[in-house]
Chains A and B, each alone.
Chain A
Amino acid sequence: MLEITHISKTFFPNTPNEVNALRNVNLTLEKETFTAVIGTNGSGKSTLLNAVAGTFELDAGQIRLAGSNITGWPEYKRAKLIGRVFQNPFAGTAAEMSIAENVVLAIHRGQRRSLRTAVTRSLREEVADRVRSLKMGLEDRLDNPIGTLSGGQRQALTLLMATWRKPELLLLDEHTAALDPKSAAKVAELTRDIIKQDKLTALMVTHSMQQAVDLPDRIVMMHKGQIIRDFQGNDKRRVRIPDLLSTFDRVQKKELFDESVAELLYGAYA
């Protein structure tokens, strides 16, 4: 489904701020699987997601999605195949426009925009029906500007919008991080339900280890622009938060492991 091969990206090359955000990353997602990416700050997890979304050009490597080589596609063209939810609840919707108008934009994601009236009566009914499933009472507020909703409501709606038209790939960029704990839990639950019901292929960046353990089928761990661990199948089923923590711990220890430590241990393993 998604094949990422040997991708690299350096931001601000040849400057003091040079960041090797992605270093030869390879990742393949199978159809109808849900993968979480976790990692420390600056590990490149969001960069990986943005590389797939197409917000910047890669230095090297290739990305294939649903049989197409999308490496050179601009961000808006990739949107034909990809649904996205952002970390910031304000990023995924147009605040001053109504709920119905926002949804109508998402219904035609990646399609030609005609000159027919966008928000028709029959469309309003369709929108009301689906929005009712969120149980947030939004179906009665279809004409209210989306900016009047709470962060949790906006994020739930963005999620619904991103998946309204079944995407080949759903990208979730820490989409519960900016919410209060109660809304975050609700959006996480909704995420799991939608992905399960619609049999979506999803890639989620998360800061929450609990979420990484609870929601997806697979956990990919990143550190300094590389994938350092990949829990799949049986490995994933038994993994718990302490395992994730100690994997990070071990990576950090590996970084402190210098030649003097090697010298010392040669003495103890002689």
Chain B
Amino acid sequence: MSLIFGAFTMGLILSLLSLGMLISFRMIRFTDITVDGSITLGAAITAVLITQGWSPWLAALMAFWAGALAGSVTGVLHTRFKIQKILSGILMMTALYSINLRIMGRSNIPMLDTNSFSDGMRALLLKLVNNADRINVMGWQVSLIDAAVLIMMTFITVIVGFLLYRFLLSHFGTALRAAGINDQMIRAQGVDHHGMIVFGLALGNGLVGLSGSFLAQYQGFADVQMGIGMMVWGLASIILGEALIGKNSLGLQIIAVVLGTILFRLLIAIALRWGLNPNDLKLVTSLFVFMALVAPQWFRKLSGNFQRGKGHA
């Protein structure tokens, strides 16, 4: 059952990415492709810093700031230089590919026997179970390290989600949300909506960078290719969560995104177990997002036809 356990852990780590994308895609309504680059950026910085002996937490913090910086550059490209949203993201993502290679110095940094954010929790667990290397969770034997990561990520996700929730309900957060809905209105209320876009992208990509940091620490390596397709996965997770839980309130929306991400990782894990070729994973994900975007229109059309049909009869 390490499969489900792994999917859960992976889902929690990537839910930080999804929460970041919740800000950029749903709050300020910016189709932000920077994500593919900034998650790698977070991982790269973490890998370099940790291998140089930095504390994992400090490395994670730096990953957050690096992501935020990348996001704000995308925002400035769009607001200041009037470049289209998509193109601003593509420019930044492409630039980040080279930047990430520069940071890492090569295409892959393994992090074997290095410190990790879950070390403390692992030590605690070790004490609790008297130095066994596996623990029993509801009848399953789980490796101690996996359990530690899962517990830590649960904490982190809950804290980030809660802070995000409080932030979005604050005066500043309310203005940020309004900036995404009606820029004319928010300017008339004295808010610099360009500033809000830059801030939203910075916060969003900061969370993505953080997610990258934890991902690298969990997987034990950083790879320059690891970000490819992450944006589409994040989007798929958001869509899945919203479809299941809805978005009637901000709290529900945040919970939906987290649960959506976990569920999506589970679905992937199950599909892989049933023999899906891992190389087809991105194609399947894209098809899923395509379906999710198109299906509502089809349903509307179908129900329209149905009603017209009734009218004739």
Q: Are A92 and B188 in contact (CB under 8 A)?
A: yes
B182, B187, B190: residue with the most chain A Cβ atoms closer than 10 Å: B190
B194 → chain A, closest Cβ, in Å?
A: 9
Knowing A94-B178, A114-B171, A118-B173, say if A74 contacts B192 (CB, 8 Å). Answer: yes
Give the CA-CA distance A64 to B263 in the complex, in Å: 58
Give the CA-CA distance A117 to B190 in the complex, in Å: 19
Give the CA-CA distance A108 to B172 in the complex, in Å: 10
Q: Which A residue sits closest to B192, measured CB to CB?
A: A76
Knowing A114-B172, A118-B170, say if A96 contacts B190 (CB, 8 Å). Answer: no
- Which residues 146-195 of B have a CB within 8 angstroms of A? 166-167, 169-175, 177-178, 181-182, 184-193
> Could you say which of A93, A113, A115 contacts B191, with CB atoms under 8 Å apart?
A113
Knowing A94-B181, A94-B182, say if A76 contacts B174 (CB, 8 Å). Answer: no
CB-CB under 8 A from A84, the residues of chain B are 188
Q: Are A111 and B190 in contact (CB under 8 A)?
A: yes
Q: Are A79 and B174 in contact (CB under 8 A)?
A: no
> Could you say which of A80, A83, A95, A115 contacts B182, with CB atoms under 8 Å apart?
A95
> Could you say which of A82, A92, A108, A113 contacts B185, with CB atoms under 8 Å apart?
A92
Give the CA-CA distance A114 to B191 in the complex, in Å: 12
Give the CA-CA distance A91 to B187 in the complex, in Å: 11
Q: Are B170 and A115 in contact (CB under 8 A)?
A: yes
> Could you say which of B171, B177, B185 contacts A91, with CB atoms under 8 Å apart?
B185
CB-CB under 8 A from B167, the residues of chain A are 115
Q: Which B residue sits closest to A74, measured CB to CB?
A: B192
Which of A4-12, A13-21, A37-45, A99-107 is near enough to bind chain B? A99-107
- Which residues 151-181 of A have a CB within 8 angstroms of B? 162
Knowing A104-B171, A118-B170, say if A79 contacts B188 (CB, 8 Å). Answer: yes
- Which residues 53-94 of A have a CB within 8 angstroms of B? 53, 74-77, 79-80, 82-84, 86, 90-94
Q: Are A105 and B187 in contact (CB under 8 A)?
A: no
Give the CA-CA distance A101 to B178 in the complex, in Å: 9
Knowing A75-B187, A106-B189, A110-B190, say if A91 contacts B182 (CB, 8 Å). Answer: yes
Q: Are A115 and B172 in contact (CB under 8 A)?
A: yes
CB-CB under 8 A from A136, the residues of chain B are none
Let me know if A254 is at the binding interface, CB within 8 A. no
B263 → chain A, closest Cβ, in Å?
A: 25
Give the bracket for the number of chain B residues in contact with chain A.
Answer: 20 to 34
Knowing A104-B171, A118-B173, A119-B169, say if A76 contacts B190 (CB, 8 Å). Answer: yes
CB-CB under 8 A from A218, the residues of chain B are none
CB-CB under 8 A from A79, the residues of chain B are 187-191
Let me know if A207 is at the binding interface, CB within 8 A. no
B86 → chain A, closest Cβ, in Å?
A: 23
Let me know if A121 is at the binding interface, CB within 8 A. no
A171 → chain B, closest Cβ, in Å?
A: 9
Q: Are B192 and A113 in contact (CB under 8 A)?
A: no
A127 → chain B, closest Cβ, in Å?
A: 13
Let me know if A116 is at the binding interface, CB within 8 A. yes
Give the CA-CA distance A74 to B191 in the complex, in Å: 10
- Which residues 188-216 of B have a CB within 8 angstroms of A? 188-193
Let me know if A223 is at the binding interface, CB within 8 A. no
B166, B169, B189: residue with the most chain A Cβ atoms closer than 10 Å: B189
Q: Are A117 and B188 in contact (CB under 8 A)?
A: no
Q: Are A80 and B190 in contact (CB under 8 A)?
A: yes
A227 → chain B, closest Cβ, in Å?
A: 25
> Could you say which of B171, B173, B185, B190 contacts A93, with CB atoms under 8 Å apart?
B185
> Could you say which of A53, A82, A114 contacts B170, with CB atoms under 8 Å apart?
A114
Q: Are A117 and B170 in contact (CB under 8 A)?
A: yes
A9 → chain B, closest Cβ, in Å?
A: 19
A82, A104, A113, A119: residue with the most chain B Cβ atoms closer than 10 Å: A113
Please, what's the 1-or-0 string for A24-60, where 1 marks a CB less than 8 Å from any CB in chain B? 0000000000000000000000000000010000000
Q: Which residues of A contact B (CB under 8 A)?
A: 53, 74-77, 79-80, 82-84, 86, 90-97, 101-102, 104-106, 108-111, 113-119, 162
Q: Can you offer 11 A-B residue contacts whose CB atoms are under 8 A?
A: A77-B192, A94-B178, A94-B181, A105-B191, A109-B190, A110-B190, A113-B191, A114-B170, A115-B166, A118-B170, A118-B173
- List the 4 shortest-distance A-B pairs measured between CB atoms, nearest first: A110-B190, A79-B190, A94-B181, A113-B172
